[in-house]
Structure 1
Amino acid sequence: TGPFMFNITAPQKEQVITVVAEITSAAGSRAETATVSTRVTVIVPIVFTATFRNAGGAAAVDVPVKFFIDGRIAGATNISRIDPATSGTAKLTYLPVGLTPGTHTVRAEADLNRNGVIEPEKGEVAVFDVFYKKDFELTWPWAILIMLITVSLSFLVIRSRRRRR
């Protein structure tokens, strides 16, 4: 009785996998077995980095950085410290759930006073870039599998038509 938890190690490529669990419950000489399956979509995260340079004479501490994808907030992080005349890098790991294939924009903002307005005269900055999310990638193993299925189905159709004659 009760829930059972287990971890799944997903493949490193985007794909849909089917997880099958066979459940057996026994009491004395009697046993019941059931099979449960579910489809899992594997999504590979995108790692965004934004590097900011501190041109001032004092260290910038706990610098808040927000990342936006196509104008929507994707996440936020802090750069713990950027010393004078050096650079600091913010990193965001983003799961592109529901992100359609194609070209997208990413914006990273360093808003030092956290007021939601980028004020360049106060050393605040926003950086922009464009990235492309690929569609399902047809690799050779998939192409060969699709060809084999197509040839097999064609063979079966031709064979069944010849038998009818």
Structure 2
Amino acid sequence: MENPAARKQQSDKLIFWGILLFFLGLVSGLFIPMMANPRIGVSTHLEGVMNGIFLCVLGLIWNKLNLAERWIYLGFWLALYGTFANFLAVLISAMTGAGKYMPIAGGKEGDPIIESIVSTLLITLTVSMFTVCIIVLAGLYKPQKSGDKNA
């Protein structure tokens, strides 16, 4: 761990953004009946709540990751992007009714511009979240240095 102060700040930010996303997920649940596709609206609510919890958990374990700072930095920003992009993609689909790439949630093909925005968000967030999981798993698997008190 090269910079413990920066790592602590990232940890605190992950928890803050996690609580904010959790709150946005709760608020979106209030508007489900007004959405163009209420079934995807339920998914919006769940994505906000679950991704918020995910960010909070990441924040709590962030100091345990044993990785180079560049990997920590990359994982931090990818986690924020992936979780918020997930919420935003599903929210856009629920509000517009577009959701060709979410057929299980009752998505129907919408305006091509909206569909391209949603599909871009879905594809990029998928890559981001897989990468975050690999980074975190690597950071948790790598043995701590022998002089580390957290070992």
Is the pair's TM-score, using the shorter chain for normalization, greater than 0.5? no
Higher relative contact order (CA 8 A, sep 6+): 2
Structure holding more helix per residue: 2
TM range (shorter): under 0.3
TM-score when normalising by structure 1 = 0.23
Structure holding more strand per residue: 1
Which protein shows a greater Rg?
1
TM-score when normalising by structure 2 = 0.24
